[in-house]
C-alpha cells in the first residue's frame, strides 16, 4: 500500500516525534498545509487503514505512532524514482543534477567527503 503525498505530511509530523495526539498533529500540520480539521482526521484514518501508523488509546483520546519508518518510506520512494528514470543507478541521477547546475557548493563538498569515506571503508 502506498502513502500519498497528503498522507506523507502527517507521517513527517509523526516521524519528527511520536507518539502524538491528533490535536498535536492538527496544530502542527494543518496551518502549514492550509487544512481543516476534517482533513487531518481523514488522513489519520486512511493511514490507520493502511497500517502505516497505529493508535493506542490514552484516556479519551488516541496516541498515534508510525509503523512505517521514514527510512523505509524514503527508500521506497527513492528507489522508485531511480528505477523509473535512471535505470536504477545513482550516478546518472547526480549527473542529471550536475548538468542542470543544481549541485550547490555544499553538495559538492559533501559528495567529496562521502566518496572519501567510502575509500576508507576500503
Partner DNA sequence: AAAAAAGGTTTACACACGTAAACAATATGG
Partner DNA sequence: CCATATTGTTTACGTGTGTAAACCTTTTTT
Partner from a second copy, DNA, none contacting 18, C-beta within 5 to 8 A by type: none
122 binds a second copy (CB under 8 A): no
71 binds DNA (CB under 7 A): no
Q: Which of 11, 29, 35, 53 binds DNA (CB under 7 A)?
A: 35
108 binds a second copy (CB under 8 A): yes
18 binds DNA (CB under 7 A): no
Partner from DNA, a second copy, none contacting 43, C-beta within 5 to 8 A by type: DNA
Q: At what angle do helices 22-33 and 5-16 cross, to 10 degrees?
A: 130
94 binds a second copy (CB under 8 A): yes
DSSP string, the chain: ----HHHHHHHHHHHHS-SB-HHHHHHHHHHHHT--HHHHHHHHHHHHHTTSEEEEEETTEEEEEESS-HHHHHHHHHHHHHHHHHTT-HHHHHHHHHHTT---HHHHHHHHHHHHHHHHT-
Q: Using alpha carbons only, give the angle 64, 65, 66 rounded to the nearest 5 degrees.
A: 130
Q: What does the binding site for a second copy look like in residue numbers (CB under 8 A)?
A: 5, 8, 74-75, 77-79, 81, 84-85, 89-98, 100, 102-104, 106-108, 110-112, 114-115, 118
Q: What does the binding site for DNA look like in residue numbers (CB under 7 A)?
A: 2-7, 21-23, 33-39, 41-46, 55, 60-62
Amino acid at each position: 500500500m502506498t502513502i500519498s503525498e497528503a498522507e506523507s505530511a502527517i507521517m513527517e509530523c509523526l516521524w519528527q516525534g511520536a507518539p502524538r495526539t491528533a490535536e498535536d498533529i492538527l496544530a502542527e500540520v494543518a496551518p502549514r498545509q492550509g487544512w481543516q480539521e476534517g482533513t487531518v482526521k481523514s488522513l489519520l484514518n486512511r493511514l490507520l487503514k493502511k497500517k502505516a501508523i497505529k493508535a493506542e488509546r490514552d484516556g479519551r483520546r488516541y496516541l498515534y505512532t508510525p509503523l512505517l519508518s521514514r527510512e523505509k518510506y524514503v527508500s521506497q520512494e527513492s528507489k522508485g524514482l531511480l528505477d523509473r528514470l535512471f535505470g536504477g543507478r545513482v550516478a546518472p541521477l547526480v549527473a542529471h543534477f550536475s548538468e542542470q547546475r543544481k549541485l550547490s557548493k555544499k553538495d559538492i563538498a559533501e559528495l567529496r567527503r562521502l566518496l572519501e569515506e567510502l575509500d576508507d571503508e576500503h
